[in-house]
């Protein structure tokens, strides 16, 4: 995953402003600020998890589902990875506000330490503070880049579990956080566009389909994406896992390594030559990370030349369905996919679908 660094500026932005209380009267803590670049607050009250994880064939379990958002809810934007462009951040937070959300930002969201959005400790603190703030309903990662893997062991997972379930949104480098949420908290999270990244923060306005499907992910309604080619026929069902190929390869040998058994594996990447894609797939195959996969849903491969011969060679002979060309990852549009939710792939329609039962009973 070769992404250019985004220019950033050291500093924390404006002074923190108390976030609006969530139902139940919980007040936000200090450290989050409203609007573009500023501080951060804490997470929503611990609402009941969605129905207990359901056993799937091969031992795979679907993850618990955070509550849907409502207009007026507070969301926090944090930067767990690369440095953030303040102009893009301002545009992206305005887009979120246009969805009827109250937006607060991490105290260190505009920090910069070389290719990182500030120190590891600061990035981890912003994420944890947002997650544990009872006023915050969802945490959106500002952008990808590099750095999420460096903070996984700095997070207090017991405190985050005690804070109750909430929504995480991000893609690319945020694959590391999706894997950690599945392993540590057993939660569904959304692989989707980010507020300080191009599709939501370009000068011409957000890419319409990407924004529409992000809103559906947050408020309810997203349920499928369709590709443009079939690499191997068939159909399969299982929890959705995976994400960015480079990150999944980097997580081999860690507690957050990919475990594909009984699952549908989403794969995508950017800026990787076909031979590098071959190498990373060979690594995942050799470590057993892909053993027992129910099927594969392949997203965008922006700036990767033509990876499909390699994808066909390495995945097409595994005896499971493989659909490709899904608008998920780094391309345009970037549609949102729920990691950990029960999904299905069908080669006849070349689609990835999913079913989510929310805590309030909504589907």
Contacts of 159 (CB under 8 A, 6+ apart): 128, 132
Q: Measured between alpha carbons, how far is residue 172 from residues 49, 57, 224, 300 in Å? A: 27, 28, 20, 11
CA-to-CA distance for 7 and 316, rounded, in angstroms?
40
Do 63 and 341 contact (CB within 8 A), yes or no?
yes
First to last CA, the chain: 34
The burial class, CB within 10 Å (0-12 / 13-18 / 19+), for 48 is exposed
CB atoms within 10 A of CB 261: 18
Catalytic residue selected from 3, 182, 207, 268: 268
Helices (H) and strands (E) in the chain, counts: 10, 15
CB atoms within 10 A of CB 309: 12
Check if 172 is active-site. yes
Contacts of 186 (CB under 8 A, 6+ apart): 53, 61, 63, 64, 340
Catalytic residue selected from 172, 189, 210, 246: 172
Q: Which residues pair with 75 in a beta bridge?
A: 103, 138
Check if 330 is active-site. yes
Q: Measured between alpha carbons, how far is residue 35 from residues 82, 215, 286 in Å? A: 20, 19, 46
CB atoms within 10 A of CB 71: 9
Q: Which three-class secondary structure state does DSSP give residue 133?
A: coil
Query: For residue 178, what is the DSSP state?
Result: H
Residues acting as catalytic residues: 172, 268, 330
């Amino acid at each position: 995953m070769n992404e250019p660094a985004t220019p950033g500026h050291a500093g924390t932005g404006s002074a923190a402003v108390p976030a609006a209380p969530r139902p139940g009267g919980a007040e936000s803590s200090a450290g989050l600020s409203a609007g573009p670049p500023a501080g951060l607050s804490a997470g929503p009250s611990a609402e009941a998890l969605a129905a207990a994880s359901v056993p799937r064939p091969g031992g795979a379990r679907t993850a618990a589902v955070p509550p849907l958002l409502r207009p007026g809810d507070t969301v926090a934007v944090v930067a767990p990875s690369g440095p953030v462009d303040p102009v893009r951040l301002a545009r992206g937070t305005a887009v979120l506000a246009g969805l009827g959300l109250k937006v607060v930002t991490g105290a260190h969201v505009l920090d910069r330490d070389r290719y990182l959005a500030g120190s590891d400790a600061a990035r981890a603190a912003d994420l944890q503070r947002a997650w544990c703030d009872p006023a915050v309903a969802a945490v959106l990662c500002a952008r990808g880049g590099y750095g999420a893997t460096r903070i996984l062991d700095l997070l207090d997972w017991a405190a985050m579990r005690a804070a109750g379930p909430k929504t995480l949104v991000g893609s690319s480098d945020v694959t590391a956080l999706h894997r950690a949420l599945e392993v540590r908290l057993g939660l569904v999270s959304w692989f989707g566009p980010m507020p300080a990244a191009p599709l939501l923060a370009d000068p011409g306005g957000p890419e319409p389909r990407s924004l529409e499907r992000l809103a559906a992910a947050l408020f309810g309604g997203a349920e499928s994406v369709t590709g443009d080619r079939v690499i191997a026929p068939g159909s399969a069902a299982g929890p959705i896992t995976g994400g960015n190929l480079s990150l999944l390869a980097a997580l081999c040998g860690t507690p957050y390594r990919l475990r594909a058994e009984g699952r549908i594996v989403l794969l995508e990447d950017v800026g990787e030559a076909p031979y590098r894609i071959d190498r990373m797939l060979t690594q995942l195959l050799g470590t057993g990370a892909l053993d027992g996969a129910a099927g594969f849903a392949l997203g965008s491969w922006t700036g990767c030349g033509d990876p499909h011969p390699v994808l066909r060679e390495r995945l097409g002979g595994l005896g499971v369905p493989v659909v490709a060309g899904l608008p998920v990852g780094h391309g345009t549009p970037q549609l949102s996919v729920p990691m950990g939710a029960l999904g299905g792939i069908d080669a006849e329609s070349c689609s990835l679908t999913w079913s989510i039962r929310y805590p309030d009973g909504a589907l």
